[in-house]
Chain A
């Protein structure tokens, strides 16, 4: 744990007056306040540092203690032995602890640095601080179109916590869902932020999706197109046999009601599937075929 220079955090001199401290704090707070820097971790961290500096320097008692012992926190036990070190009431006291690295808490506790905790103990804030709602998190979930054809459950690991979510069938690419309170923890008793999950859906099928409707081009041989017949085609839930009318034209579109994509959060409701016939002309004709086509052309 390193010494934290609260004066440099606020960009002021050691001789600064209370008014100058207040002015410097306000100026920096306006710049780094979480409300004006949503989802900006760096600003949030900086704001905590500014808050901590202000907490100490704006309180005459804390400032005095900081000025007196701050830089010498490592020798706190010596102060204690010589009877010079005071312990804050109810706090962890000042020194004699095995300090780890200097860190700022993420919000579940005080949001103050280890240095602050060691110097001022658990007494922390002398005046009421505003509660801040935690930051919102944004995440992307990559799925395929086949994945979202049916409702499924998936377990996500978010900041070390396993969250089981239901992904309703029919979710759209780019659609965002909100998981309330799964964001960053709030500060000073404020509510947690929310988690926003954006679904990124890759099309792994031969269908084109437009909302709840699906589109597909199907090849049809000339003879079936002219004479009519049956054609088996693939849908997202299996094969179906389609009746092809005689004299079907190239580019003709057939609507298969209810064979499209599931409608989001409407169980059992589906869009339509549109099949466009792409008639393939025969190639590499045999002599016999050529003769018959010639005959046909003369009729």
Chain B
């Protein structure tokens, strides 16, 4: 992975005014993937959209990590079902 596709976690925390422990908790729960290079933690660009959503859920709506995990799981499930629905509609028409 090219380093241009990685955002330093400390920059992200500074920009969003959040604690690094939040990112660490998300990573421990398997909700996001981070990369470590020479003792520094980086967030892959493709994880940013998801991470920013988790930041909003936690800091604006007071939802804890367990709640975020549940919401994330249910949203993925809805997404899968919508795709399945489309495929079934295609098959009918």
A140 (CB) vs chain B CBs: closest residue: B86
- Give B36-93 interface residues, CB cut-off 8 Å to A: 49, 52-53, 56-57, 60-63, 71, 75, 86-87, 90, 93
Interface membership of chain A positions 118-144, coded 1 if the CB is closer than 8 angstroms to chain B and 0 otherwise? 000000000000101100000000000
Chain B contact residues: over half helix, strand or loop, or mixed? helix
Please give, as numbers and ranges, the residues of chain B lying within 8 Å of A26 by CB-CB distance.
61-62
Cβ contacts under 8 Å, A174 to chain B: 86-87, 90
Interface of A is mostly: loop
Say which one of A12-20, A30-38, A248-256, A274-282 lies at the interface with B: A30-38
- State A2–B77 Cα separation when bound (angstroms): 40
A-side contacts of B93, CB under 8 Å: 200
Cβ-based interface call for A57 (8 A): no
Using CB atoms and an 8 Å cutoff, list the residues of chain B in contact with chain A: 49, 52-53, 56-57, 60-63, 71, 75, 86-87, 90, 93
Residue of B nearest to A39 (CB): B82
- 22 residue pairs of the A-B complex, CB under 8 angstroms, read A26-B61, A26-B62, A29-B60, A30-B61, A30-B63, A33-B56, A33-B57, A33-B61, A35-B53, A35-B56, A35-B57, A36-B57, A36-B71, A36-B75, A38-B75, A130-B56, A130-B60, A132-B56, A133-B52, A174-B86, A200-B90, A200-B93
State the total of A-B contacts with C-beta under 8 angstroms: 29
Q: Does A173 contact B (CB under 8 A)?
A: yes
Chain A residues proximal to chain B, CB less than 8 Å: 26, 29-30, 33, 35-36, 38, 130, 132-133, 173-174, 198, 200
Residues from chain A with Cβ under 8 Å of B71 in the complex: 36
Chain B residues lying within 8 Å of A33, measured Cβ to Cβ, are: 56-57, 60-61
CA of A29 to CA of B56, assembled, Å = 11
Residues of chain A within 8 A (CB-CB) of B75 are 36, 38
Partner of A198, one of B53, B61, B62, B86: B86
Expressed in whole angstroms, the Cα–Cα distance for A173 and B87 within the complex equals: 10
Q: Give, as a whole number of angstroms, the nearest-CB distance from B54 to chain A.
A: 9
Residues from chain B with Cβ under 8 Å of A173 in the complex? 90
The distance in angstroms between the C-alpha atoms of A247 and B61, with both chains bound, is 76
Residue of A nearest to B74 (CB): A36
CA distance A130 to B59 in the complex (A): 10
State in angstroms the CA–CA spacing of A174 and B84 once bound together: 11
Give Cα distance in the complex from A26 to B62, angstroms.
Answer: 8
Contacts of A133 in B (CB 8 A): 49, 52
Tell me how far the C-beta of A38 lies from the nearest C-beta in chain B, rounded to whole angstroms: 7
A68 to B93, CA, bound (A): 59
Among residues of A, the one whose C-beta sits closest to the C-beta of B57 is A35
B86 CB contacts on chain A under 8 angstroms: 174, 198
* Bound Cα distance A12, B61 (Å): 18
**A33, B75: Cα distance in complex, Å:** 13
CA distance A36 to B71 in the complex (A): 7
List chain A residues, Cβ under 8 A from B90.
173-174, 200
- Tell me the bound Cα distance from A133 to B93 in angstroms: 34
Give Cα A35–Cα B75 distance, bound, in whole angstroms: 9
Tell me the nearest residue of chain A to B87, going by C-beta. A174
